[in-house]
Copies of this chain bind each other. A is one copy, B any other.
C-alpha cells in the first residue's frame, strides 16, 4: 500500500507514478492477464516484485509497435542537467521507441531542444509543451518558491497533453532507472481496456474537480502557508483511498536518511528506479548508498554518444537529419588520406547550451560579449579571464560527459566563477579525433546575446579596460546607427614568460614591449598573421585607423553578432581564423584598429592535438586541400571579388 499519512519527505514517493497508479484503479485487475507463475511466488512477502522482472516480459506486445510515452516537467538550468542523466539511464536499458513529452519553461526548452536535436537518438521523439500555459491553472495555490509551481503542474498534465495520448508515465527529473522502462509500462498491461483510455477516464471520474476540491479544503485547515504537489496528491488519496492501486515498491526506491525503503530492495535485481530527492543524498550514509551513488554516477558521466544505437529488429526510426548524415558518412572513403577530416567535418556534436545557471545581459545597444572556446586543459584560464573581462561571455567547452561533471565542480568550488552569472558555458561533447575548433566557435557565437561580440581565444587576457573601452568605441563610432560594416581590431601581443605582470595601460604595455618582455603576437613564427594591424602605427595612434586585408591576416575583432559564421570545415588546427577574416573582408567589413585596445597571449605547453598533427605531412596536405576547397566556394559566392584571396594563396604556395 502507498504510505498514506507518512511525513512529507516520504510522501514525495507517491509523485513519481501516481498518474499511472490512478489509471490502474479504474478497471481493476483483468483475470485474463493473471500470471501463470504466481504459484512460484507464494510466500514471498514482496511478491509483486518478481512479476515485473520476469514473467511480465512474456506478456509484452511486440516491442517495435509499442511507443512508450513519458511526461516530465522541467524548468531551469539545474533540472535541464538532471533530466539528461535520467534520460541516459532510460536509454541505456530501453528497447522500445520513446515519445518524450516535456513541459518546459523557456530556459529548459532552449537547452533541451538543442540537446535532443544534436543528440540524434534513434527512435526517440520529443514534444515540447509550454509550462506558461499551465501556470494559471495552479498559480492560485500558495507555494513557497518558483520551482514549487512547476511541481504542481503535474496535477494538471491531462489538460496540456494531447487528447490522443492514452497513457503516459510521469517522471520527476531526479530519478535514475536501473531497468528497462518497458517493465514499468507493462504494468498497464495487466488491466486491458483501461490501457487505451485512462487519460480520458481521468476526466470522466472528474480528476480536476477532485484535486481542486481537496486542495481548497486542505488550504482552509492547513497551518502551513504553502502546498506542494505531493501534499495535494496525498490529500486526494487520503480522501479517495479506492483510487490507489499498490505499485511494487521497487518502482520508486527512495534514498533518504530515514527511509524504510531498505525492506523493499533486499535484492539488487529488484531495483527499477531510484529517486533522488535532493543532491545531498549522494553523501547519504545509507547501507546501500554506494550502490545508489555508483549507479547515479555511472549515468552522470556516461558518454551520451554511446546511447545513440538503433533499436534491434525495428524499422529505422531516424531523428531529423540523422539519416542523411549517416548516408554522407557511409559514402566517405576510409582509405582516403583526409578521411578523418571529412568525418570530423560531418560530425554533429551533442550540444548542451547554458550548461550552468545564467543571467542573460539586459539589452544594451553597445554591449559586447567575449566569445571563445576551450577544452579541459585550459580551465585554469577562466578565473583570470573573469578578472580581466567584466562583461558577458559566451564560452564553448569541448568536453566528455565525465569532464562536464568535473567542470561543474570546478565552477562550483571557485568563488570567482560561481559569482559570475553573465558567463554562459556551452558544452559541446567530444566526438572524433580532430578538434572541431570552428564548430565550437560557432556554438559560442550563436549563443551571444549582445549586439556585438569580441571574437577572442582562451589563451588571451584582454586589457582590464577593454570591455568598457570597446563599448565606448562602438558608441563613438556609431556602428549601430550608420549601416557601417566594421570589424574593430584588438591588437594582439604575447609574453613568453609564464610569470608575468599584466600592464595596466597602453603606456605600460609599450614599456614592456621595448624591454623585450612582450612581443607582438607570433612575431617570430607567423608575422603575416597580424602584420596588417600595423603595430608601428598603433604605437602612436590616437584614433581608430583603417587597415587593409592581406594574406593570412587573422586579427582578433569586435563585430556585430550577426557576422558570418566560422567555416566548420576547418577542424584540427590551422587557418580556422584566417578563413573567417577573409569572409569578413569579402563581405566588405572595414577593419578599424582601436588605438587603446590590446590583448595578451599567455604561454602554455602546446596542446596534444597541435604537437601530434603539426608533425604529420598528411595533416598539412589535408589542410592545403581544405584551403583550396574553401577558395573554390569563395569564388562561387563572391565571383571575381574573391580573386585576390586565391592569388594570395597561390603566392604563398609558390613561396612554400
Ordered nearest first, which 4 A-B pairs have the shortest CB separation?
A268-B312, A498-B603, A294-B306, A266-B313
A275-313 contacts to B (CB < 8 Å): 283, 288, 290-291, 294-295, 297-298, 301-303, 305-313
Residue A497, interface by CB 8 Å:
yes
Q: Find A306's partner among B266, B297, B413 (CB 8 Å cutoff).
A: B297
Closest-CB distance, A367 to chain B (whole angstroms): 30
Bound complex: CA A313 to CA B288 (Å):
10
What is the chain B residue whose CB lies nearest that of A301?
B303
Residue A346, interface by CB 8 Å:
no
**A611/B313 in contact, CB under 8 A:** no
Please indicate the chain B residues that have their CB under 8 angstroms from the CB of A302 in the complex.
298
Bound complex: CA A306 to CA B297 (Å):
8
Bound complex: CA A265 to CA B604 (Å):
51
Residue A36, interface by CB 8 Å:
yes
Residue A377, interface by CB 8 Å:
yes
Stretch from A20-28, A51-59, A471-479, A501-509 contacting the other chain: A51-59
**A265/B496 in contact, CB under 8 A:** no
Please indicate the chain B residues that have their CB under 8 angstroms from the CB of A271 in the complex.
312
Q: Find A54's partner among B57, B95, B283, B294 (CB 8 Å cutoff).
A: B57
A101-119 contacts to B (CB < 8 Å): none
Closest-CB distance, A404 to chain B (whole angstroms): 13
**B312/A267 in contact, CB under 8 A:** yes
Closest-CB distance, A348 to chain B (whole angstroms): 15
Closest-CB distance, A52 to chain B (whole angstroms): 11
Bound complex: CA A109 to CA B611 (Å):
36
Closest-CB distance, A119 to chain B (whole angstroms): 14
Q: A63-B267, A605-B498 are in contact. Are A309 and B290 (CB under 8 A)?
A: yes
Residue A402, interface by CB 8 Å:
yes
Q: Find A57's partner among B53, B265, B309, B602 (CB 8 Å cutoff).
A: B53
Residue A37, interface by CB 8 Å:
yes
Chain A 34-69 near chain B by CB (<8 Å), digits 1 or 0: 001100100000000010011101100001000000
Bound complex: CA A603 to CA B499 (Å):
9
**B54/A313 in contact, CB under 8 A:** no
Bound complex: CA A288 to CA B310 (Å):
8
Residue A606, interface by CB 8 Å:
yes
14 of the cross-chain contacts (CB-CB < 8 Å) are A37-B58, A50-B57, A50-B58, A55-B55, A63-B269, A95-B267, A265-B312, A266-B313, A268-B311, A294-B308, A297-B303, A380-B608, A496-B498, A604-B604
Oligomer copy total: 2
Bound complex: CA A11 to CA B267 (Å):
39
Q: Find A266's partner among B57, B303, B312 (CB 8 Å cutoff).
A: B312
Bound complex: CA A266 to CA B297 (Å):
31
A294, A334, A383, A524 — most chain B CB neighbours (10 Å): A294
Closest-CB distance, A389 to chain B (whole angstroms): 18
Residue A258, interface by CB 8 Å:
no
Bound complex: CA A199 to CA B267 (Å):
31
Residue A612, interface by CB 8 Å:
yes
What is the chain B residue whose CB lies nearest that of A59?
B40
What is the chain B residue whose CB lies nearest that of A378?
B605
**B288/A307 in contact, CB under 8 A:** no
What is the chain B residue whose CB lies nearest that of A459?
B605
Residue A410, interface by CB 8 Å:
yes
Bound complex: CA A498 to CA B497 (Å):
7
A405-419 contacts to B (CB < 8 Å): 410, 413-414
Residues of A in contact, count (CB < 8 Å)? 62
Residue A400, interface by CB 8 Å:
yes
Bound complex: CA A524 to CA B498 (Å):
13
**B312/A604 in contact, CB under 8 A:** no
* 7 more CB-based (< 8 A) A-B contacts, given A36-B36, A40-B58, A410-B612: A54-B57, A63-B267, A63-B269, A297-B303, A377-B377, A496-B496, A496-B499
Closest-CB distance, A563 to chain B (whole angstroms): 30
Q: A37-B36, A413-B612, A498-B603 are in contact. Are A58 and B55 (CB under 8 A)?
A: yes
Bound complex: CA A310 to CA B228 (Å):
36
Please indicate the chain B residues that have their CB under 8 angstroms from the CB of A307 in the complex.
294
Residue A625, interface by CB 8 Å:
no
Residue A260, interface by CB 8 Å:
no
Please indicate the chain B residues that have their CB under 8 angstroms from the CB of A269 in the complex.
57, 63, 95, 312
Closest-CB distance, A512 to chain B (whole angstroms): 15
Please indicate the chain B residues that have their CB under 8 angstroms from the CB of A604 in the complex.
498, 604-605
A65-101 contacts to B (CB < 8 Å): 95
Residue A379, interface by CB 8 Å:
yes
Q: Find A298's partner among B306, B308, B410, B414 (CB 8 Å cutoff).
A: B306
Please indicate the chain B residues that have their CB under 8 angstroms from the CB of A265 in the complex.
312
What is the chain B residue whose CB lies nearest that of A57?
B54
Q: Find A380's partner among B40, B402, B606 (CB 8 Å cutoff).
A: B606
Please indicate the chain B residues that have their CB under 8 angstroms from the CB of A310 in the complex.
288, 290-291
Chain A 240-268 near chain B by CB (<8 Å), digits 1 or 0: 00000000000000000000000001111
What is the chain B residue whose CB lies nearest that of A602?
B605
What is the chain B residue whose CB lies nearest that of A379?
B608
Closest-CB distance, A274 to chain B (whole angstroms): 13
Closest-CB distance, A185 to chain B (whole angstroms): 14
A55, A312, A524 — most chain B CB neighbours (10 Å): A312
Bound complex: CA A313 to CA B287 (Å):
11
Chain A 458-501 near chain B by CB (<8 Å), digits 1 or 0: 00000000000000000000000000000000000000111100
A217-235 contacts to B (CB < 8 Å): none
Bound complex: CA A292 to CA B444 (Å):
34
